[in-house]
Amino acid sequence: MSAMTPSLERTTLPSGPDLGGGPLGMIRAVQTFSSPLQAMTDFHDQYGDTFTLSVSGINIVVFARPEHLHAVMVEHAASFYKDADYTDPDRGLARFVGQGLLTSDGAPWKRHRKLVAPALHARRIMAYADTMSEYSDAMLRDWRSGERLDIAHEMMNLTIRIVAKSLFDVDMHGALAEPIFNAMREIQEMQGGGGWQGLLPTWVPTPSELRRRKALREMDELVYAIIAERKASGQDHGDLLSMLVAARDEDGQPMSDRQIRDEAVTLFLAGHETTANALNWTFTLLARNPEAEAKLHEELDRVLGGRLPTLADLEHLPYTERVVKEAMRLYPPAWSVGRVAIEDVQIGEYFLPKGTRAALHIYHVHHSPALWDNPEAFDPDRFSPEREASVPRYAYIPFGGGPRVCIGNHFAMMEAKLILATVASRFILRLNPGQTVEMDAGITLNPKGGLPMTVTARH
Ligand code: HEM
């Protein structure tokens, strides 16, 4: 959509907070982005669903209405690229994941998407179901009834092992996973603004910068070793890694090790933390809502009778699915996604000149009283077939939408249901009386400081 299109209504951007420029503006920006969800919720309360946040002269238009999200993600998808939080090679996600699917745009993105899609296709992922249940079962074998565990750590460990095994045929147990975990933690911290050190250029060797570089180096060593091993073996494992190694472009050229590494790290990142967080919030909500928990237990006991869930069981576990969906409504793991307009574009009543950034607030759409009855209540039956049919379009979009919709959405749903079914069949997870679980919003929505819970065997 070009600026020349005569039908564009050139209205101004929505009003909103201006953090100002100069050193003071930067300090305000660091403060704001050190707890971004809280800050955005405050702005949202003050300015409404749509506002412009100005930071050092950069305009970020925040959208939280389904029709605006649909316009950006679908109708005008070609007018937007991912924003600098993803693509900036110095401070964005790209510093860690390079030019993988999450952080690339245009023709390279299209090529990668085509390459990765078959490995995550609904039919292909059925083969991963057994890994999901068996790895969950292995985790539970280490749990002792009555002990207190950091469930966030358990879920991260489990989901990263499942991605590694499913997509790269690597069993990443114990210390082997450490470099990936460390790097993922650094990414979270960096995306959270990095405190006052976030004000400094990245060539300044602050302690956090040095730690970040070390984490990146160690993760790369591990990932390049996995790629080299696969290339040396010459074997086709029928997984994503084999597909990436065998891929050729139009000129018959293979992907470079760097390109394969970028895609692998992207999938490690995108493919584990989101699902782990969906489960963290699911267990938190179940602990706070005994009635829903009892309904879940009834379904699991009736259908599974204590055995491990299989792919075939999933269609008989509708309430399990509703619990996961409702947890992702209240706590969407990808709570906000960002874009930048690469040309002038009209979104609803707003005209966004080229270069304007857009933040799509999935969290606030999911909590809107205009779209949901009693939006703060945990009510899995909102996703019963009758009630789900009346949810407005784009009012529920935990996986985004349009051409950049989550490529792992089927994988993630299947995984979350199988893990929940396995764990909740065998254990009850409890918070301490009065224990609060705060949100820590980086790229994904984490429980702040981990999720200590007491696990008690059910049978
Ligand atoms: C509950 C779990 C998950 C949630 C809530 C989630 C959410 C999302 C969202 C909202 C997007 C769109 C971002 C945007 O529009 O900018 C996205 C993209 C993506 N997701 Fe997921 N995701 C989950 C699990 C996974 C898994 C398991 C994988 C891989 C195995 C994965 C891989 C990706 C990739 C590669 C992209 C980028 C796609 C592209 O730009 O073409 N995600 N995800």
Ligand 1 within 6 A of CB of 275: yes
Instruction: Give residue 240's pLDDT.
Output: 85
Instruction: Give residue 1's pLDDT.
Output: 41
CA of 170 to the centre of ligand 1 (A): 21
Instruction: Give residue 128's pLDDT.
Output: 92
Instruction: Name the pLDDT band for 29 (thresholds 50, 70, 90).
Output: confident
Mean pLDDT, the chain, integer: 89
Atom 21, ligand 1: residue with shortest CA distance: 406
- Where do the domains of the chain lie, and which CATH numbers do they carry? 22-457 (1.10.630.10)
pLDDT tens per residue, range 290-317: 999 999 999 999 999 999 999 999 999 9
Report d(CA 9, CA 239) in Å as an integer.
49
* pLDDT (average), residues 245-269: 87
β-strand pairing of 439-441 with 350-352: unpaired
Instruction: Give residue 235's pLDDT.
Output: 86
Instruction: Name the pLDDT band for 192 (thresholds 50, 70, 90).
Output: low
pLDDT tens per residue, range 275-295: 999 999 999 999 999 999 999
In 83-140, DSSP assigns E strands to none
Return the DSSP state at 432: P
Cα distances from 35 to residues 59, 255, 445, in angstroms, run: 19, 39, 11
Ligand 1 within 6 A of CB of 335: no
Q: Is the pLDDT of residue 133 over 80?
A: yes
Give the chain's end-to-end CA distance (angstroms, integer): 61
Instruction: Give residue 174's pLDDT.
Output: 62
Q: Is the pLDDT of residue 8 over 60?
A: no
pLDDT tens per residue, range 111-129: 889 888 888 888 888 889 9
CA of 266 to the centre of ligand 1 (A): 10
Ligand 1 within 6 A of CB of 419: no
**Residue 298: partners with Cβ closer than 8 Å, 6 or more residues away:** none
Instruction: Give residue 11's pLDDT.
Output: 61
3-state secondary structure at position 51: strand
CA of 101 to the centre of ligand 1 (A): 10
Instruction: Name the pLDDT band for 10 (thresholds 50, 70, 90).
Output: low
Instruction: Give residue 2's pLDDT.
Output: 42
* pLDDT (average), residues 411-432: 97
Report d(CA 282, CA 403) in Å as an integer.
28
Instruction: Name the pLDDT band for 424 (thresholds 50, 70, 90).
Output: very high
Nearest CA to 319 out of 397, 376, 388, 384 is that of 384
Q: Is the pLDDT of residue 196 over 60?
A: no
Report d(CA 77, CA 297) in Å as an integer.
42
Q: Cβ–Cβ contacts within 10 Å for residue 90, how many?
A: 10
Between 176 and 163, the more confident residue is: 163
Q: Is the pLDDT of residue 193 over 70?
A: no
Instruction: Name the pLDDT band for 7 (thresholds 50, 70, 90).
Output: very low
Atom 17, ligand 1: residue with shortest CA distance: 406
Between 32 and 68, the more confident residue is: 68
Instruction: Name the pLDDT band for 194 (thresholds 50, 70, 90).
Output: very low
Q: Is the pLDDT of residue 386 over 60?
A: yes
Nearest CA to 53 out of 405, 359, 344, 397 is that of 359
Report d(CA 421, CA 191) in Å as an integer.
32
Instruction: Name the pLDDT band for 251 (thresholds 50, 70, 90).
Output: confident
Instruction: Name the pLDDT band for 21 (thresholds 50, 70, 90).
Output: confident
Ligand 1 within 6 A of CB of 104: no
Nearest CA to 227 out of 168, 282, 144, 313 is that of 168
Report d(CA 285, CA 329) in Å as an integer.
12
Instruction: Give residue 171's pLDDT.
Output: 85
Ligand 1 within 6 A of CB of 269: no
String of DSSP letters for 225-293: HHHHHHHHH----SSHHHHHHH-B-TTSPBPPHHHHHHHHHHHHHHHHHHHHHHHHHHHHHHHH-HHHH
Tokens encoding 146: 């009555």
Instruction: Give residue 191's pLDDT.
Output: 61
Ligand 1 within 6 A of CB of 412: yes
Ligand 1 within 6 A of CB of 102: yes
Please identify, by atom number, the ligand 1 atom nearest to the C-alpha of residue 277. 1
